[in-house]
């Protein structure tokens, strides 16, 4: 039994390189801009969160050591 190739459909999508290039440049530009706008704020919040957790844990450990020595 032979397979009939004439019933298969082949679809080809054409994407103009200028549209693809424009999309890529805009996506990279917007992504880079958002990163540089938000990075200082996100890093500060992240560092503040880590710092506050470390300080609270240290304070709890110090209080526990004081109770154990008394």
pLDDT given for residue 42 in this prediction: 79
Q: Which residue has the higher pLDDT, 3 or 33?
A: 33
Distance in angstroms (rounded) separating the CA atoms of residues 1 and 6 = 15
Domain annotation covers residue 29: no
Domain annotation covers residue 34: no
Tell whether the model's pLDDT for residue 1 goes beyond 60: no
pLDDT given for residue 31 in this prediction: 82
pLDDT in tens, 11-62: 877 777 888 888 888 888 888 888 888 888 878 888 888 888 898 898 888 8
Distance in angstroms (rounded) separating the CA atoms of residues 35 and 42 = 10
Count of domains observed in the chain: 1
Domain annotation covers residue 26: no
User: Residue 46: which domain range?
Assistant: 40-70
pLDDT given for residue 45 in this prediction: 82
Domain annotation covers residue 33: no
């Amino acid at each position: 039994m032979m397979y009939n190739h004439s019933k298969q459909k082949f679809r080809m999508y054409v994407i103009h390189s200028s549209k693809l290039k424009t999309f890529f440049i805009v996506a990279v530009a917007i992504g880079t801009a958002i990163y540089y706008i938000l990075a200082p704020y996100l890093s500060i919040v992240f560092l503040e969160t880590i710092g506050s957790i470390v300080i609270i844990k240290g304070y709890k450990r110090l209080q526990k050591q004081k109770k154990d020595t008394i």
